[in-house]
Structure 1
Amino acid sequence: MRITFYGAAQTVTGSCHVVEAANKKIMIDCGMFQGHRLSRERNYLPFSMIPQTVDYLLITHAHIDHSGLVPKLYKHGFRGRALATGATVDLLEVLLPDSGHIQEMEVERLNRKAMRAGKKLIDPIYTAEDAFDCVKKFERAKYNQVISLDENISVRFMDAGHILGSAILELWVREGTKQTKLVFSGDLGAIGKPFVQNPTLIDEADYLVMESTYGARLHRDKGNRLEKLRAVIQETYDKGGNLIIPAFAVERTQDLLYDINLLLVEDRLPPMQVYIDSPMAVAATEVFKRNYEHFDQETSRLISKGDNPLTMSVLHLSRTVEESRALNELKGGAIIISASGMCDAGRIKHHLKHNLWRPESTVLFVGYQAPGTKGQRLLSGVPSIRVHGEEVKVRADIRYIDGYSSHADQQGLLDWVNAFAQKPGRVMLVHGAPEALAVMEKVVPEKTGISAYAPSWQETIDLTPGVVFSAEELQRAYHAMASRMDGFLQSSPSSSDFERVMEQLKQLASLLDKVS
């Protein structure tokens, strides 16, 4: 049994891990690399593993750095089973075709330059049509349900509290009489986020693969982000300009709507109109509206009172190019939320072009900005920036609120690990910048007593099976569990608890059959 880290190793993006066990290959996430040019170029490289040899593809959530190369995987021959939660599949139907469209447009632009220079033309990594086709093949998994991939491998998707549909993966693998449990955190959410539940606490694991995005940081503005947002909105209104917010289309945009709605309900929002100007964010918001059953109690309570942040009176959805262009004529009184969140693509670039040079406007960042992106450069204080081939002077105020991260910070990650009843034997740290990973390699052992290691890109680690059962132990466990079934059934268990217990019995019976 071994695991290879094909992405999100010593970097934040490109999540992709492959477990080889029980004569199968299980891929967890297939994400796109983002950020600086050298990182993005990895997206064009051939897969380091042969896609046809991958048996199972499990996607933790819909963000492009976890799912963005799935169409490429299919394009190059993957034909195994693909699973994600239902809400994740809904979001993939929005995000992946949009990603394919962006690539088509970018390649078209690059090929025009290549033709003029007499250079070789290139193909997009995949097209929007490729993306549409592959999403149709996904199976929709339910939270808390143990799914048997085959007689030796089972998986369960548990709520990660990161974005709508995000999941922690529990993976059980049997090889003969040996069973090993691996847990993949996916991206863990912060406690108390709008819309989504808090991250599920996991009981046990032999190995844990955990994200470390904020492994070296604590969220500074978490407790007062609403007041900070109110102050930025009021400041911009008083100046008479527009507030431009680059935001990821999924979760971050909806979190902003949640807080703006709270200000509206509390009569603390100045007379400004709110515009979502991103086809993807508009579509993602519609997905949220179809998944009310997954919302947390606070959001559900707010909606039941008639204060739905997704349909508030000041909200306008820019669906067409004409509606988007009309926003360029607004000189003040507008809160414009647009993608991409790092300012490298999409309609946000138009709003930067029309507002960055105006001192009465404000650009507010509410999310991570990868090195090399326009967003990171603006936060670093550059005097001007190139947008659509034009150098634009930066005269607008540049602001940043830290508390909107969809990721747990260092303390949140440590608290989650310490909540394991039976702690993992080893933690493998991924999805973090090198400095964050280096900090976590020291902090995790100090605060949890578990050894931690941050693998390198494409590094393979051999895993020792976690549990070895004798035939006598398996028989005792099976009979003990079976003898408790009457009392368990009389307790009127929930359907998820019933399925979990029946799956455990089935696993024990299967192991007994192998050793008898």
Structure 2
Amino acid sequence: MELTVWGAAEQVTGSMHLLEFDNYKILIDCGLDYERDTYQEENQNFPFDPTTLDLVVLTHAHIDHTGNLPTLVRMGFQGQVLCTPATADLTEILLMDAVNIFLSKQKKSGRGRGRRQQSSGPPPLYLQKHVNDTVERFVTIGFHKRFQFHEKAAITFIPVGHLLGAAAAIIEVEDQGTTKKIAFSGDIGRKNYPVLVDPEPLPPVDYLVLESTYGGKMHTKEESLEDKLVKSIEEACIKYPGRLIIPAFSIGRTQALVFSLNKIFSKGLLPRVQIFVDSPMANYATDIYRKHHDLVNDEAKDFYNREGDEFDFESLSYVTDKKESISISNYHEPCIIISSAGMLEGGRIQDHLFHNIQNYYCTILFIGYCAPGTLGNRLLRGDPIVRLRGRDLMVYASIKQTDLLSGHGDHQDLLNTVTTQSPEQLKNIFLVHGERKSMESLQSALTELNYKCDIAIKGYKYTL
């Protein structure tokens, strides 16, 4: 049995791992690598022939784990795609959104009678028809359901939090007379996260491919999420008649935030404030969370039984169209605006920033990571002027940040994932999905605990 890490090696995006045995090839995740501005060109080709793959396994729906799957299908992959039912549903809307992003970047110029229309941006990686072809290949498997996909191999999905339907994939392979087990962690969530279940311990395995996003980093412990949100709303909307803008990813982060706000206002901790959720994709994703309500955590289920829908309450409005979105700028009462995208690189959030970045009574609260070079990162580092819609605007709004809604487990959570395993049975850990510094910190900590641990090298074939 052989493992080759083709993506998310010493970086965060582009997860893609190839497992081979008996001339059978499995690709675990097929994510977009968007570390560079030229990512569409970078993702056009694979370091292997897609037609030789027999199976794809998805750990969860995020685009850095699924976003290049339609390219794989477009280039000839004919096999099945195994994932949980929630992952299948969320992946479909994320891939459709990716098509829209590709097309928006392919700006048209030279329009006019007798003139040929030309594109100034890169060609789309794939189109809606390729997404449809991809979705037809999905075969869904529930958690803890052992699925035999080969006469010598089976897979089981274990819940890991992080996102609805997210799983660690445990693959068992009969190899040279013995059964070997390898776990692909996907992304590990954190305990007590709104809406989502806690990560479950993994069964004993021989090899572990482990994400390391927060290696060496610990989440804030000084205050609770509820206290942080109450304080932020109080300062932005109650003490002063202003508005609180929260950039949030449409899938996962928005649902966790809405439920958290529902709890705050249901308890009467603050007077009610109008809340706008301005993201079409967030609306679709929320319906998927309702569809798979059996997967939410016990707290969310108990709240539903007592109070009703966690994602719908008095003073909450889901914005449905562009006209309604534009009208929010004319709403002059204190309010909270939740909109995508989380790093401010596109979406309706840019409209709200344009109208509010120079408003002294506006607070922008970041609840997630913003990559270097993004507009969100420029605001967080304190740039006094930002460019929006071709204009340079002074930043008068207050800029704040919290990591309390990060969906990734921190350094200790990653250690906890490993320490349920016996150092004697676990032959090796391969670290992926993290920056080099994070990987080195986690590797050092695991080595001190007597685990054998390698930072995966891109393209290197490991014999298991």
- Residue number in structure 2 paired with 1:355: 356
Cα pair distance change 1:320/1:234, threshold 3 Å: same
Matched AA of 1:270: P
Alpha-carbon displacement from aligned partner over 1:181-222 (angstroms, at most 9, x marks no partner):
110110011011122211111121111011111112111147
- Residue correspondences, number: 459
> 1:179 deviation in Å?
2.6
> 1:399 deviation in Å?
0.6
Q: Which runs of 5+ in 1 are unaligned?
A: 465-516
- Residue number in structure 2 paired with 1:258: 259
Q: Secondary structure at the match of 1:404?
A: coil
Q: Secondary structure at the match of 1:91?
A: helix
- Taking the aligned partners of 2:109 and 2:179, their CA distance within structure 1 comes to 50
- Residue number in structure 2 paired with 1:364: 365
Deviates more, 1:269-278 or 1:395-404: 269-278
Deviates more, 1:61-70 or 1:303-312: 303-312
Identity score, percent: 34
- Residue number in structure 2 paired with 1:418: 419
> 1:331 deviation in Å?
4.0
Alpha-carbon displacement from aligned partner over 1:398-433 (angstroms, at most 9, x marks no partner):
111111111110001101211125652111111111
- Residue number in structure 2 paired with 1:240: 241
TM-score, normalization by structure 1: 0.85
> 1:270 deviation in Å?
3.4
Cα pair distance change 1:109/1:364, threshold 3 Å: farther
Superposed, 1:263-282 pairs within 5 Å as 263-282=264-283
Tell me, yes or no, if the aligned pair for 1:60 and 1:84 is still in contact at 8 Å.
Answer: yes
- Residue number in structure 1 paired with 2:380: 379
- Residue number in structure 2 paired with 1:429: 431
Root mean square deviation of aligned Cα: 2.1
Cα pair distance change 1:69/1:332, threshold 3 Å: farther
Superposed, 1:100-179 pairs within 5 Å as 100-108=99-107, 122-179=122-179
Structure that is richer in helix per residue: 1
- Residue number in structure 2 paired with 1:484: none
Alpha-carbon displacement from aligned partner over 1:277-326 (angstroms, at most 9, x marks no partner):
11111100111111111111111111100243211112111111111111
TM-score, normalization by structure 2: 0.94
Tell me, yes or no, if the aligned pair for 1:203 and 1:421 is still in contact at 8 Å.
Answer: no
- Taking the aligned partners of 1:318 and 1:48, their CA distance within structure 2 comes to 42
- Residue number in structure 2 paired with 1:469: none
Cα pair distance change 1:118/1:289, threshold 3 Å: closer
- Taking the aligned partners of 1:273 and 1:102, their CA distance within structure 2 comes to 30
Tell me, yes or no, if the aligned pair for 1:157 and 1:170 is still in contact at 8 Å.
Answer: yes
> 1:349 deviation in Å?
1.2
> 1:387 deviation in Å?
2.1
- Taking the aligned partners of 1:394 and 1:71, their CA distance within structure 2 comes to 40
Q: Secondary structure at the match of 2:140?
A: strand
- Taking the aligned partners of 1:128 and 1:222, their CA distance within structure 2 comes to 46
Q: Which runs of 5+ in 2 are unaligned?
A: none
Tell me, yes or no, if the aligned pair for 1:172 and 1:180 is still in contact at 8 Å.
Answer: yes
Superposed, 1:51-66 pairs within 5 Å as 51-66=50-65
- Residue number in structure 2 paired with 1:77: 76
- Taking the aligned partners of 2:330 and 2:108, their CA distance within structure 1 comes to 27
> 1:35 deviation in Å?
4.6
> 1:175 deviation in Å?
2.6
- Taking the aligned partners of 1:374 and 1:110, their CA distance within structure 2 comes to 26
Superposed, 1:460-475 pairs within 5 Å as 460-464=460-464
> 1:384 deviation in Å?
1.6
